[in-house]
Structure 1
C-alpha cells in the first residue's frame, strides 16, 4: 500500500509539473546575466504567475529582430524584450506582434501612445570617459582630437544604431562628413555593448559609446567616481527600450500578464541598479542616490518611428562608406 501511495504521489507531482505553464521571453545578453535584471525579474514574476519564466538571450537588440525575422511565426518566443524605437517600425512591419492594452503612468522624455510596444526603460546615449580627462563638447571636437573611441556595430547593436541616429539627428546632411572625420578615432567596432565597455575598462580606448547613466553603476556598485559621461552641445539621442508579445504565442494571457508586470513597481524598481537605465515608470521609492550626479543633456534628440527606417538606411550607408575608406 505504501508503494501504491508513493507511486500515486509521484504521478500527481508529475502531472502538476506538466501543467505548469511556461513563458519564453527573448531578450539581449546583458539582461539575463547574474548582474542584470533577469534573475530578479524571473523570481518576482514567478511568485505571482504560477508559471516558469524562461529568458532566452539572443545577442543585442538588433540581433533580436534579426532572429525573429528568421524564425517568423514558428518562433518559440511569447514576448520579445529589448527592441527600441529605432527598430519598432521594422518590427511592426513583420506582422509578428499582437496589439496589447497596458495602462501605465509613464515618465519618459517624450509622449507615448503605442498599442503594440510597451516601454520598460530609457536613457540617453553618451560617451563615457575617465572623469579627470577633458572631454570634447561635441562630435566635431571629438573628430579633431586624438582621442580613441570604441563603438558598437549598428547592424547588431541598439547602441550602435542609436549612435548613427544621434549623428544623423544632430547633423543631417553633414552626417557623412562627420563619420569621415571620426573614422580615425575609432579603435574598433564591437558586436555588442558588453564587449565595447569591457575594452574601455581595460584601457583600450579613451571613450566608449554607452549611456549618461553608466557612471551610476560605478558610483553605486563600486563606490567609484572616476567615470563620467561627456555632455555634447548638440544634445543626446534618447533610447526607449520596449517589449511586445508575439501573435503566435500559445500563452497570450500569460504574455499579457508579463507586460502588465513589466510596468509595475516590482519590475521598475529593479531597472536603475541592474540595467542602469531610467525606469519607464518611476518607482514609489524614486531613483537611487547616485542618479542625481548624472549628466543632464541640454536637448533630447529622437527621430520619430515613421522616419526611423528610412533614416536608418541612409545613416548606415554613410557610416559604412566612411569606415571602409
Structure 2
C-alpha cells in the first residue's frame, strides 16, 4: 500500500515543473521618462508587443535621453538592459564606442529626411527642434534675434537631455566659431535649465516663460488632443536641427531572440502608428493610415541642419564648454 505522503510530494514536483515551464521571459528596455508616462507611447507599445511575444516587456525609465548613455556607460557589461531606446544621432557614436551594442540586422524602408545605413542603431521616430511659444505673441525670426531679445525661454541640460544637446548642436551648426557669442546673448534669456524635456515643457505651460525648447511637432499635441491652436513653433532663418531617435540591442542580452523581435517590431505599423499621437514626433515609417489630421498644419523648416554622428561626437565637448562658459558669467 502506497504511503499517503507520496501524493503531495508528487503534486509538488508537478507544480514546480509546471511553474518552470510557464515562466514568462522578460525583455528589459531602457528608455526616457516621457516615453513611459501614461500619455506616452510606452503603454500602447507594451500592450501591442506582448500580444505577439509571449513575454513580459518592461520599460525602465532612466531619466531623459542623454542620461540613458550615461547610465549605460556606468553599468557597462553588467547592465540589465536588453535594449536601449531613446538615443539620437548626437550620441550614437559614443554609444558605439562602449562596445556594448550588437548589429540589429533589420532592413526597412525608412521615411527619414536623411539617408540611413547604421548597422547598430535603428530609428523609430524623428523631428525638428524648435522653440514653442504662444500663437499671436511676438516671435523672433532667428536664433540671433532671440539672443538679442528680452524673451524668456526654458531649455534642457545638454548633459542629461537630448533636446538640450540638440540645441548645442543647432547653435554650433548654424554659427560655427561664433556659437559662443550666441550663447552669451542667450544667457540672459534663459529662465532655467531643466534635467529633461517634461519638466521644461510643464513649466512653459504654467506660464513661467515665453517659450520652451521642444519640437516643431509639439503644437500638434495641443491641436489634436486638446483642440487648442494657441501654441506655435517659431521658424528660424538659420534652419532647424534634426533629431533622429534610435534603439539598439545590447550584445550581452540574455534574451537575444526577443530583443531581435522587438527591434523588428519597431518598424511595423503596430509600433509606428502609435508615435505621432503619443510621442508627438514623425514616425520613422509612415503608418498605413498616414499622419493624423493636424500634422499638415505644422511648420516645416526651410533648412535642415545635422552633424554626422562622428562629427557631433567630436565637437560635443567644445560645444558644452561654450555653453557652460556663457551661462556661468
Using structure 2 for the length normalisation, give the TM-score: 0.95
Shift of 1:100: 2.0
Aligned to 1:237: 241
Q: Distance in 2 between matches of 1:258 and 1:24?
A: 11
Aligned counterpart, 1:15: 20
Q: Distance in 1 between matches of 2:51 and 2:7?
A: 33
- Residue 57 (structure 1) aligned with residue 61 (structure 2): yes
Paired residues for 1:1-325 under 5 Å: 10-11=15-16, 13-18=18-23, 20-325=24-329
Q: Please report how far the alpha carbon of residue 132 of structure 1 lies from its aligned counterpart in structure 2 after TM superposition.
A: 1.2
SS at match of 1:289: coil
**Structure 2 stretches lacking a partner, 5+ long:** 1-5
Which residue in 1 is equivalent to 2:3? none
Q: Write the distance in 2 (CA, Å) between the matches of 1:265 and 1:13.
A: 35
The Cα of 1:313 is off from its aligned counterpart by 1.1
Question: Is the alpha carbon distance of 1:268 and 1:2 closer, same or farther for their aligned partners in structure 2, counting shifts above 3 Å?
Answer: farther
Q: Equivalents in 2 of 1:260, 1:39: separation in Å?
A: 18
**Superposed CA RMSD:** 1.6
SS in 1 for 2:214: strand
Structure 2 SS opposite 1:119: strand
TM superposition shift of 1:15: 2.7
**What secondary structure sits across from 1:80 in the alignment?**
strand
**Bigger radius of gyration among the two:** 2
| Deviates most, 210-219 or 306-315 | 306-315
Q: Which runs of 5+ in 1 are unaligned?
A: none
Cα distance, 1:8 vs structure 2: 7.6
What SS class does the counterpart of residue 101 from structure 2 fall into?
coil
Secondary structure in 2 aligned to 1:14?
helix
Rounded Cα–Cα distance in structure 2 between residues aligned with 1:231 and 1:184: 21
Q: Secondary structure at the match of 1:195?
A: helix
